[in-house]
Amino acid sequence: MTTVRISMDRGKAAGFLFALGASFVNAIQSLIAFSFLRFLDSNPDVIEWLKRIGAVVLFSLAYFFYKQSKKVISAKVTSNQTHPFILGVLLSSINMLALPYYFGSALGLEAGDQITAISPYIYFMSIGVFFGAFLMFSIYAILADAVAQKSIFITKNLNIMLATLFIILGSAVLVDLVF
C-alpha cells in the first residue's frame, strides 16, 4: 500500500524507486535466510529460542495494532520528503515477517528436494526474490489509482486486520512450541 500511496502522491517514478529500495532489502533478507538455513536446520535449540522470541514479538505487534485501531484517525496530510528508494529500504528493513518467511520457504523447498541452499544457488534465489518483489511493487505503482479505490475498506480496518493476523501467527507459533 505504501507503493500505491507514493505513486499517487509523487508519481509513478517515485513508486518505482520505492519498489527498487524495498526489493533490494527483500533480496538481502532472503540471502540471509538462505545462508543461515543449514546452521538453523542443524541447531534446533536455536530455532526453539527464535520461536519463543517470535511469539512475544508477534503478540506485542498484535497488541500495538489493536491499540492503533482504537485511535481516531485524523485526515491531516503529512509531507514526507524522504527519497523513495531510501523509504523503501527503511520500511522493508523493519518488516519482521520477511526473514522467517524466507527461512520457512527455503526449509520447506529444501526438504522437498526442490532447491539446494548452497552457493551459488542462494544468490540465484535472492536475485529471483528481488525481481519478483520488484515486479509486484511495480504493478502496485502502475495500478495505483485502481488499487487505491478498492482499498478504502482495507485502509479503514488495516490495524485490526494486522492485529488479527499477528494473533493468528503468534498462536500458531505457540501451538508449535507446545506440541
Res 152: pLDDT = 67
Report the C-alpha gap between 31 and 98 in whole angstroms: 11
Cis amide linkage into residue 100, ω under 30° from 0: no
Q: Is the dihedral of CA 19, 78, 149, 159 positive or negative?
A: positive
Model pTM score: 0.76
Res 106: pLDDT = 84
Are the C-beta atoms of 16 and 89 separated by less than 8 Å? no
List the chain pLDDT tens, one digit each, 179 residues: 788 888 888 989 999 999 999 999 999 999 998 888 888 878 889 888 888 888 898 899 889 888 888 876 554 455 568 899 999 999 999 887 888 888 888 888 888 888 887 888 899 999 999 999 999 999 988 888 777 776 667 666 777 888 899 899 989 988 988 88
Report the C-alpha gap between 13 and 9 in whole angstroms: 11
Res 82: pLDDT = 85
